Amino acid sequence: MLSYFKAYRYFAIVFAIISMIIIAIIYNILDIEKPLPIYQPAQIDQELVDSTLFDVRKYHKIADFSLINQNGDTITQDDYKDKIYVADFFFTTCQTICPIMTDHMVKIQKETINDDDIKLLSHSVTPQIDTVAQLKRYALRKGVNDAKWNLVTGDKKQIYDLARKSYMAVKTFGNGDEYDMIHTENFMLIDKKKQIRGYYDGTDPEAIEQLLEDIKTLKREYKK
């Protein structure tokens, strides 16, 4: 009897291995695509998460906002309703990572220019310097398409709360007071439900290529 169960155990192991191989083959043949993750505060680097969100495990979304773009128009969440968008934080006088990030946003704009489902959103972290006129000059210099890409300024506290509590993009607390300053290379991919679906190093060309691929993956998700 003992030998019978021993033999059965070996059979079960072999059967399990064969089953996994078959499943892997079927998976590859059918080209089943794994969906992008939905990032929740409790699942990411806690240095990026405001302490009020540590225990949030579901339903996290980008908060509503009201900011002013390079044309002096009020931009709210309604302007991004039912859109996939890429968000970042920058300032026009930055001489370090921001020029690289902006050039990469220009690349994303170029690659998605004919896709009305995709938009871009860049928040100034020095709104006291980045007035509407300053943002417009910067937009013209960089070739920003107004219909696709908003550079926004406005209340500093609101922008910093977005960075820290909505996008979870910065490691500093970002309280938005007069002397506060945040700086992050993160790009965030946001889906049509205002959920974060990806983080990318905005200074890394390979990360930008991955972001473009993930945009395609996310678009296919909505076609299913």
Q: Which residue numbers belong to the known binding site for Cu cation? A: 94, 98, 183
Taking phi over 0 as left and psi of -120 to 50 as alpha, with beta for the rest, 105 belongs to alpha
In which residue are the tokens 């310097």 written?
129
| Neighbouring residues of 62: CB distance < 8 A, sequence distance ≥ 6 | 77, 87, 162, 166, 167, 190, 194, 195, 196
Dihedral sign of CA atoms 201, 85, 148, 73 in order: negative
What is Dmax (Cα atoms) for the chain?
A: 86
Would you state the structure tokens that stand for residue 167, as one six-digit string? 């996008």
Q: What gap in Å lies between CA 18 and CA 9, rounded to an integer?
A: 14
Positions at the binding site: 94, 98, 183
Distance of alpha carbon 109 from the chain centroid: 15
